[in-house]
Each structure stands twice: as structure tokens, then as C-alpha cells.
Amino acid sequence: MKSIILGTGRYLPSNVVTNHELAQRMDTNHDWIVERTGIHERRYAVPGVDTTASMGTEAAKRALDAAGLTPQDVDLILFATLSPDYYFPGPGVQLQHNLGCRTIGAIDIRNQCSGFVYALSIADQYLRNGAANHVLVVGSELHSAGLDMSTRGRNVSVIFGDGAGAVVLGRTDEPGRGMLSTHLHSQGEHAEELALLGPSTRDWIPEIFQRNDPEDVSYFPRMNGNFVFKHAVVRFAEVIEEALTSNQLSTSDLRLLIPHQANLRIAQFIQQKLGLREDQVYNNIMRYGNTTAASIPIALSEAFDEGRIQKGDLIMMAAFGSGFTWGSALMRW
């Protein structure tokens, strides 16, 4: 028995924010953002309407509907995010409650950009060994409320957007179909090259109140952009080739590569390096920005709805991000 995706779903907030709108808040412009990231617009959560848990819930409902299943059919929830509604508890239990699932397990995955791929790997093991029949995997992010929307923070803030994606996985014994393999890696020595350093238990409530410094930027994400880019293009290619080699396949066998939507320039570099055709790579970062753990399931859902994925197609999902962590998942749809 292998695991297989039975249904996909996504949710994007209704609030569309263009590069031109960001240029009114900080010293930037549309062409500068497009040249460096490929992004034209992104979605921001509607205050009082959208939260990480609520967006994940909507995406999950749509994935369950697509799979022809109900919340009562779910045996395990895996929720990937770096932006939970609360410091604790995590959003997995909120999703369990919102959907009305049984008192099943709910695991929160904190691997940022590669969180969805990590979650897929865990789901695959539960399904392969028979511990679950249906696993719900969700990636949801609400970045917009935690970004430095000034010129000081523009290099990071223009990149990110909000949204959620979800998949329901089940089991199949149909020859040739299902998850072929997953591959996970980490390199913690570079943890602070892409990180949010505060608030944390190293700089906790008393210190925050005592300092009250409006110039303190530790509470905003920081990224060493060039360093991250150089590592990303290497690790992306490595983990994609690792999956193909492990299954005695080549890039020509791929129907579609769905990379984490970090930066269009990274995806284009990988496409060229691996010799992939334009129609073998799916990108939607130009419309949504980088939605971190939600980016792959959003793109997967869109690609399926557009008819880009058919039964029997070989689909590769790969991600690289904070940690550093990276991974790939190869599936015969």
C-alpha cells in the first residue's frame, strides 16, 4: 500500500495588495520588486476575518469535498505553519475543532518553507504502515501582520503573502500510483540566516516590556538574501535529483515540478539547471508572493484545477527554507 493524494483545496484572502500599493508605504517600486522576486501582487488577510487557523480550515474543507470525504473520515491532522494564531497551542487542534473531527491526533509542523513537504513525509509513513487511512495535511500562513512595512524592512516584506492550502491523503494498492519517496534534510548551522529572533524565551516578556524600543527590529523576520539564494539553488537541485535517482527516473519523466514559491528567480534557475521545459514547472508566486508552508499546496491545488495534473503523472514537490531545511516528495498521481 502506498499513500496518494485524494483531494486538494486552497484559500486565498480577498484582499489583493499590488506592488504599487506597497510603494505607497515604503521606498520601492513595481519594477524593482518584479526584477528581484517575480512578484506582482500578493494576498493579505482581512482583519477580523482571516486567521491562520480559519484559512487552513477553509482549505481543508475544500480538500475534503474534493476527496469525497467528511471530517469524520480523517484519522490524523498535520498542520504546517510558522505563523500560528497563538504562541501555544498550535493550530492543529483549532482545525480539529473547527472541522468537527473525532478526537484524533493533531500535529503541528514547524519547518517553515519546507513544512508542507515534511508533513507529507510524515503522512506517508502513517499511511504506509497502516496507522491511518486518511491524513489531512494543511499549510497556512498569515505573514502580513508581522512584517516591517517600512523602507527599513522592504527587502523581506515585499516577498511574503497570506493564504492556505490543503491535501487529503489516503492509501492505494493500484500498481504504479502513489508516493514513491520523500527526502528530508537540515543544516542548523545557518539557522539565523533566515529567522525571526524575537520574541523568544531568550528575550521574553519582562525584557520586552522594559525595553519598549521602537527601533528594535528583532521582532521582524530577517533574511540574508544572497546567502539564502546561493544555498537554495544548490539544495533544490540536489534534493530533486536525489528523489529521481532513488527511483531510477530522470527529469524527462516529470510531468510537473511544483517548487516552494520562494522567489521566481530561484525557480527559473532550477528549471534551467535541470533542463526542464517551461511546461514542466508550475509557478504562481507572481500572484500570491511567498506563502511559506502554504505555497506548495496552493500551487498543487491550482495546477490540478487547471488540468495540469492527470492520473498517472509524475509530480515532484520540493522546498528549501529557514532552518536551513529542505526536502522533496515524488508522487505518481
Catalytic residue ranges: 113, 260, 290
Residue 63 to residues 48, 299, 305: CA-CA distances in angstroms?
24, 13, 12
Q: Hunting for cell 508542507 — which residue is that? A: 116
Report the alpha-carbon distance of residue 137 to residue 122 in Å, rounded: 10
Q: What would the DSSP string read from start to end of 193-254?
A: GEE---SBTTB-HHHHHHH--TT--TTS-EE-HHHHHHHHHHHHHHHHHHHHHHTT--GGG-
Report the alpha-carbon distance of residue 36 to residue 15 in Å, rounded: 23
Report the alpha-carbon distance of residue 205 to residue 151 in Å, rounded: 27
Report the alpha-carbon distance of residue 8 to residue 289 in Å, rounded: 20
